[in-house]
Structure 1
Amino acid sequence: MEKAVRKYWPVFVLPTAAAFCVGFLYPFIQGLYLSFCSFITIDRAKFNGLQNYKYALTDATFLHAFWFTALFTIVVTILINVGAFALALALTSKLKASNLFRTIFFMPNLIGGIVLGYIWQILLNGALTLLEKPLLALDEKYGFIGLLILMCWQQIGYMMIIYIAGLQSIPDDYIEAAKIDGATEGQILWKIKIPNVMPSITICMFLSLTNGFKLFDQNLALTGGEPAHASEMLALNIYSTFYARSGPQWKGYGQAKAVLFCILVIIISMIQLKATKSKEVQQ
């Protein structure tokens, strides 16, 4: 079987390679070219150089969306990973009905982002009304907090499962030896569990960062970028530029923003992966 696979490996690779080229590589290259054009349809694109990028880098709404998204991503990444790791510790400590709790905490991740956004919009606006506070779409601060609550509620259970798998992979001998040597629970956590669960931390940090930066449907459903684009994140800003305005120049502006957005996410993800993988230990 191994010899056959080595001999006929192109047969196995070709379908995946073809799908990658058709579904990602060709659209990406075409999108990169269109970011230097003004167009309404892609077959009638007119090259206009760096004009689209000049607009994108000086657009106040795009710059505000970047800082809003960056702050949101930092805060939500910390909250999600701390919350998920705490739940994973609790549910791997011989807690009764732990499987039931795992299922309950994971279930919000199965609901679509648009549905979650509208559900939490109703809940949070109702709570703010009772407290005589401005609605989500009337105050940027409450929109930011609402997005944090929604994302944490949706993502913590998913990350919890990854952390549970990481904690369960730690050899029992490590913890037993530490207890025999007189290590406290805090020392076991910081010196044994966290270093050995770093691969799971790497994965969860990567997912949290990319999900935070790419957030779109929840932002659209919960606040719609209101008030006056103040709670608008990068993905929604790109969508609004590309689709919500008429004229060939706006398509090019939106495409340039999308390319900048893609580069930004790739750079940040690579930095995070390198930083966390360097702290991983071999069991």
Structure 2
Amino acid sequence: MNSQTKATNLQGGALQKNTNVSKPVSMASKKKWKDAGLFTLFVGPVLLAFTIIVLIPFFTGIYYAFTDWNGVTGNINWVGFDNFKYLFTEDKQFQASFLLTAKYTVVAIILTNVIGFALAILVTQMLKTRNILRTVFFMPNLIGGLLLGFIWQFIFVKGFASIGQITGIPLFEMAWLGDAKTAFWGIVIVSVWQGAGYIMIIYIAALQNVPQEIVEAARIDGANRWQILRHITIPMVAPAVTICLFLTTASSFKIFDANLSLTNGGPFKSTEMLALNIYTEAFVNNRYGIGEAKALIFFIVVAAITVIQVMYTKKKEVES
């Protein structure tokens, strides 16, 4: 009897241990399912919307880039790389727009960052009007690109002409939007005027994080303002420079609304940027396949340039 009782107790203990082990396992699995459910609940709708709005059109556009679809009818023929051969051999306007966009991007990146950084330094000084100045400099960024373009179109055409008649200054007597060279700089002026305020805000946040103890120590050692700016301020705001270069590079390459509202690519398509050229090809000329081929090339180039820029500036941050 004693041996039977001991065996029964051992079996019961083993069963109890197995039950105790299974409880944590089941609780852990329930927690995993609960976490997965919460993740799906919060991320699922956003992921679904991103898939429908971004991913599906993106991959569909890649497919259309290899077809001759006109964007209207249901006749879609696969043409392979014929669209890309046409762009690089026969479409001179696409090549001219690409070079013009590259030129505009370089100019806009430099001017927007330099002016934005200068404004940030100005409004971080101990000025009584610094808060008002921040608002004034940032306000152009709140105006839509199309509306801003039409406002500046009126200024270039009517306002400058009136000032030129009154003052006789040659700068205001020029046909700003009627000549290819001045029209290009008109687009640059509007874009920089709109974007510098946004870049200024990013630089302000970076400048406010520069330790004043280091700046004061440099002044005590006899460093002037230029030396402090070059050797202390700029290296410490390098992460902000990386962000601002990335933002201005992407926005400059993708300029569309100011180009459309100011010149619409004129005169004689001399100021037609790449985004406007793609829009015209796809939705005005009804050559959707060629338009998508241009857009795909555009995407690859912009992605490559931005990745290289971020990697290079990040490397400079580490070195500094």
TM-score norm. by structure 1 comes to 0.91
CA RMSD in angstroms, aligned pairs only: 2.1
Give 1:182 shift: 2.5
Give the number of equivalent residue pairs. Answer: 277
Give 1:13 shift: 3.0
| In structure 2, C-alpha distance between the alignment counterparts of 1:64 and 1:161, rounded to whole Å | 34
The within-5 A match list for 1:136-155 is: 136=177, 138-155=178-195
8 Å CA contact 2:61, 2:292 repeated in 1: yes
| In structure 1, C-alpha distance between the alignment counterparts of 2:161 and 2:312, rounded to whole Å | 40
SS in 2 for 1:46: coil
Query: 1:93 aligned to 91, 103, 125, which one?
Result: 125
Q: Does 2:297 align with 1:256?
A: no
Give 1:119 shift: 0.9
8 Å CA contact 1:202, 1:276 repeated in 2: yes
Identity across the alignment (%): 45
Query: 1:77 aligned to 109, 114, 118, which one?
Result: 109
> Which residue is equivalent to 1:108?
140
> Which residue is equivalent to 2:56?
26
| In structure 1, C-alpha distance between the alignment counterparts of 2:96 and 2:247, rounded to whole Å | 23
| In structure 2, C-alpha distance between the alignment counterparts of 1:104 and 1:24, rounded to whole Å | 35
8 Å CA contact 1:88, 1:164 repeated in 2: yes
Distance 1:42 1:36, change over 3 A: farther
Cα deviations by residue, 1:109-140 (Å, 9 ceiling, x for unpaired): 0001111111111111232573443351x311
| In structure 1, C-alpha distance between the alignment counterparts of 2:224 and 2:290, rounded to whole Å | 57
Cα deviations by residue, 1:196-242 (Å, 9 ceiling, x for unpaired): 10111111111111111100010000001011111000000001111
Structure 2: which 5+ residue stretches go unaligned? 1-30, 165-169
| In structure 2, C-alpha distance between the alignment counterparts of 1:211 and 1:263, rounded to whole Å | 15
Which AA in structure 1 matches 2:61? Answer: G
SS in 2 for 1:37: coil
> Which residue is equivalent to 2:28?
none
Cα deviations by residue, 1:159-178 (Å, 9 ceiling, x for unpaired): 11110000001122221222
SS in 1 for 2:316: coil
SS in 1 for 2:181: helix
Give 1:44 shift: 3.9
Which AA in structure 2 matches 1:13? Answer: V
SS in 2 for 1:215: coil
Distance 1:140 1:54, change over 3 A: same
Give 1:282 shift: 10
Which AA in structure 2 matches 1:74? Answer: V
| In structure 1, C-alpha distance between the alignment counterparts of 2:283 and 2:52, rounded to whole Å | 24
8 Å CA contact 2:176, 2:186 repeated in 1: no
Give 1:51 shift: 1.1
| In structure 2, C-alpha distance between the alignment counterparts of 1:193 and 1:273, rounded to whole Å | 20
| In structure 2, C-alpha distance between the alignment counterparts of 1:195 and 1:135, rounded to whole Å | 39
Which of 1 and 2 has greater Rg?
Answer: 2
> Which residue is equivalent to 1:53?
84
TM-score norm. by structure 2 comes to 0.81
Structure 1: which 5+ residue stretches go unaligned? none
> Which residue is equivalent to 1:162?
202
8 Å CA contact 1:196, 1:281 repeated in 2: no
Q: Does 2:278 align with 1:280?
A: no
8 Å CA contact 1:34, 1:42 repeated in 2: no
Q: Does 2:170 align with 1:134?
A: no
**Comparing 39-48 and 188-197, the one that deviates more:** 39-48
| In structure 2, C-alpha distance between the alignment counterparts of 1:196 and 1:42, rounded to whole Å | 56
Which AA in structure 1 matches 2:289? Answer: G
